[in-house]
Amino acid sequence: MTVLTFSLLLIVFSFLAGVIGALTGLGGGVIVIPVLVLIFHINIHYAMGASLISVLATSSGTAAAYLREGYTNLRIGIFLEVAAVTGAFIGAMLVAFISKSFLGIVFSLVLFFSAYLTIKRKEDHEDYTTSHPWATALQLDGTYPYKNNFLSYRVQHVPFAFSIMGLAGLLAGLLGIGSGTLKVLAMDQALRLPYKVSTTTSNFMIGITAAASAGIYFANGYINVLVAFPVMIGVVMGSFSGAKLLMYVHTRYLRVLFSIVITLVGFQMLYKALSGTL
**Is residue 259 predicted with pLDDT exceeding 80?**
yes
Print burial letters for 56-90: b (CB count within 10 Å at least 16), e (below 16).
Answer: bbbbbbbbebbeebebbbebbbebbbebbbbbbee
pLDDT, tens only, 131-148 = 999 999 999 999 998 878
- The answer to whether 235 touches 33, Cβ cutoff 8 Å, is no
pLDDT, tens only, 82-112 = 988 888 778 767 767 777 788 788 888 888 8
**DSSP at 98:** S
Cα 25 to its chain centre, rounded Å, is: 5
**Is residue 125 predicted with pLDDT exceeding 70?**
yes
**Is residue 196 predicted with pLDDT exceeding 80?**
yes
**Is residue 63 predicted with pLDDT exceeding 90?**
no
Residue 158, C-beta contacts closer than 8 angstroms, at least 6 positions apart: 132, 134, 135, 138, 140, 191
How far apart (Å, rounded) are the C-alpha atoms in residues 193 and 82? 19
**Pick from 254, 270, 257, 255: which is nearest to 111 by CA?**
270
Q: What percent of the chain has pLDDT over 70?
A: 94
**Pick from 7, 59, 2: which is nearest to 36 by CA?**
7
How far apart (Å, rounded) are the C-alpha atoms in residues 205 and 58? 11
The SS3 assignment for 43 reads coil
